Amino acid sequence: MENSKINHPIVPAISKLNCIDLSSPDIQNSVSLLKQACLDSGFFYVINHGISQEFMDEVFEQSRRFFELPIDEKMKLLRNEKNRGYTPVLDELLDSENQVNGDYKEGYYIGVEVPEDDPASEKPFYGPNQWPPTDLLPGWRETMEKYHQEALRVAKAVAKIIALALDLDGDFFDKPEMLGEPIATSRLLHYEGVRHVTGRMSDPDNGIFGAGAHSDYGLITLLATDDNLGLQICKDKDSNPQIWEYVAPLKGAFVVNLGDMLERWSNGIFRSTLHRVLGNGQERYSIAYFVEPSHDCVVECLPSCKSETNPPKFPPVTCAAYLSQRYKDTHTDLSSYQNSKT
């Protein structure tokens, strides 16, 4: 029987990522593994980070409880101009060239809690969070605030290793103008399964994705996810055609990826990586923790990453200006929801 003309679907491979053990006393080995990962794919696992599995299970359970609320309850917490709160399905469009609609996911933004009477609340991305009523979701706020603090601790530990990998002092990113006063954001994410009215399978050939192809905006992202496969990465974003690989969930680990600001800081030595999410008909929950420096931090080429033969590739930019433009480019204008938030 002749099989040469049969077209078999190409199933993306599983990407093999380096694993960084934050409890390891061998810091040089961790630096070596991380540097190799940053040069290869921009993605790696972080294990033994000090957040218990029991607590992570509680965070995911609280996330599930929120997303199971009726849509009218969730819309009462629609994201505001500070980018805090609920984002409905199709709110975000990450890959305008290839998506026919927005992302088939819903989310919830939680940032650094800053009271309204604090002068810092006037800054973009700072201010009070939106919280569900305690009688509706008791303990929800306490769980999410604790997670936000714990994830920032992990992010700072990873940033120390990144600094060493770039031949900088270990505390380089821990300065007040950087991660001392960060724009750190937790985002709960829910990709609907087929049992939901709007849930549907992804279809890349027809522009339908759980999350369109994109690179993250900031320094690094910590991703906690459930056991469902869905995340794909493209190691070379300039390749044509793009080659996609799945990233397998690893129990108890964070999947960490580099953001665009780190690419700018490192003059392209460490590159942010394209990634996307394909829905397969199963519900999928994940939590992305985006770590960016302070508002006034100027992101410009690091001294260790430039030379006469390798001058800076990107102009300096403040973190606040860069983030504001990126969020504006990818999210639905809030005025379109004016009759939905009741």
Report yes or no on 11 lying in a domain.
no
What's 169's domain CATH number?
2.60.120.330
Q: What is the pTM of this model?
A: 0.92
The DSSP line for 309-324 is SS--SS--EEHHHHHH
Report yes or no on 214 lying in a domain.
yes
54 or 201, which is more confident: 54
Across 312-319, average pLDDT = 95
Give the structural domain span for 81: 19-331
Residue-wise pLDDT tens digits, 221-235: 999 999 998 999 999
Report yes or no on 268 lying in a domain.
yes
Which residue is listed with tokens 């080429």?
301
Domain tally for the chain? Answer: 1
Contact predicate 163/220, CB 8 Å: no
Report yes or no on 8 lying in a domain.
no
Contact predicate 94/149, CB 8 Å: no
Report yes or no on 126 lying in a domain.
yes
Alpha helices in 87-188 (DSSP H): 140-165
Contacts of 19 (CB under 8 A, 6+ apart): 33, 44, 45, 46, 47, 250, 253
Of 182-196, 217-231, 257-271, the range with the lowest mean pLDDT is 182-196
Report yes or no on 148 lying in a domain.
yes
Across 136-151, average pLDDT = 98
| Position 6 confidence tier, pLDDT thresholds 50, 70, 90 | very low
Contact predicate 187/110, CB 8 Å: yes
Q: Examine the pLDDT at 196 and tell me if it is beyond 50.
A: no
Contacts of 203 (CB under 8 A, 6+ apart): none
Report yes or no on 57 lying in a domain.
yes
Report yes or no on 270 lying in a domain.
yes
Give strand ranges (E) for the chain.
19-21, 43-47, 85-87, 106-110, 183-191, 211-214, 220-225, 231-234, 245-246, 254-258, 274-277, 284-292, 298-299, 317-318
| Mean pLDDT of the residues in the chain | 91
